[in-house]
Amino acid sequence: MKILCAGALAAGVFLSASAGVAVARSTQRTVGHAPVHVSASAALAGRGPYAARPWIEGYQPTREDELFRAIYPVLPAHNVLKVYVSEAGAYDAAGIRFSARVPHSLQDIDAGEMRHEAALLIKTAFERFPDLQTLDVWATVPVAKSELTTVDSTVFSVSADRPTYVAIRNRGLADDEFLTAFGKVWLAPQVPR
């Protein structure tokens, strides 16, 4: 069942990224009192029932919105772009895609900052959602129109599971050690170290 949920989630993420609109400028929205930076492509793509909340993929809209609202304040300088949640009875899987590009600039964050932000997202999601069993976190950057085959490019990913998280959460591990404990961390070679 775990493989099926994770596979369905990954397929949804792939199809969503493949069908995106290629626009690189940013717009602002508000969640509570905090401004939310969303790409224009997300705003354009969100013309359906979740247009006002482009971070929702639409698998489990209420849960996706709850997860977004819990994690968004954790990344004060960067964007949570999309949240995916798949529920299968007592087993929940989620995915969080965040921007590795500094808003309103062409500068990308470095590997250390990506790891730090991913660790914060994992800790927050597992603490706030006790039924969440698996979490995938991706960092993406926009792709230049001349190289466009997809809207963005994944430059970092980590897959985390609740049993490992429970075993390591109180050990005071540094971000690298924390993420490495999950055993499924990937960093693109072009990411500044």
Cβ within 8 Å of residue 116, ≥6 positions away: 175
53 falls within a domain: yes
Taking the C-alpha atoms of residue 34 and residue 76, their distance in angstroms, rounded to an integer, is 10
Domain that holds residue 127: 2-187
pLDDT at residue number 144: 64
The proportion of the chain whose per-residue pLDDT surpasses 70, expressed as a percent, equals 68
Within 13 A of 35's CA, how many CA atoms are on the CB side? 8
193 falls within a domain: no
Q: 2 pLDDT band (50/70/90 cuts)?
A: very low
The arithmetic mean of pLDDT across residues 128-133, rounded, is 93
Taking the C-alpha atoms of residue 182 and residue 30, their distance in angstroms, rounded to an integer, is 34
pLDDT at residue number 148: 57
pTM tops 0.75: no
- DSSP character for 109? P
The alpha carbon dihedral of 173, 94, 43, 156 has a sign of positive
pLDDT greater than 70 at residue 18: no
How many domains does the structure of the chain reveal? Answer: 1
Within 13 A of 11's CA, how many CA atoms are on the CB side? 8
172 falls within a domain: yes
Q: What is the mean pLDDT of the chain?
A: 75
pLDDT at residue number 34: 41
The arithmetic mean of pLDDT across residues 104-112, rounded, is 84
76 falls within a domain: yes
pLDDT at residue number 96: 95
192 falls within a domain: no
144 falls within a domain: yes
pLDDT greater than 70 at residue 25: no
pLDDT at residue number 147: 62
Taking the C-alpha atoms of residue 80 and residue 109, their distance in angstroms, rounded to an integer, is 14
Tell me the pLDDT tens digit for each residue of 26-82: 333 444 434 444 443 344 444 556 777 778 777 788 889 999 999 999 987 668 888
Tell me the pLDDT tens digit for each residue of 166-188: 999 999 999 999 999 999 899 98
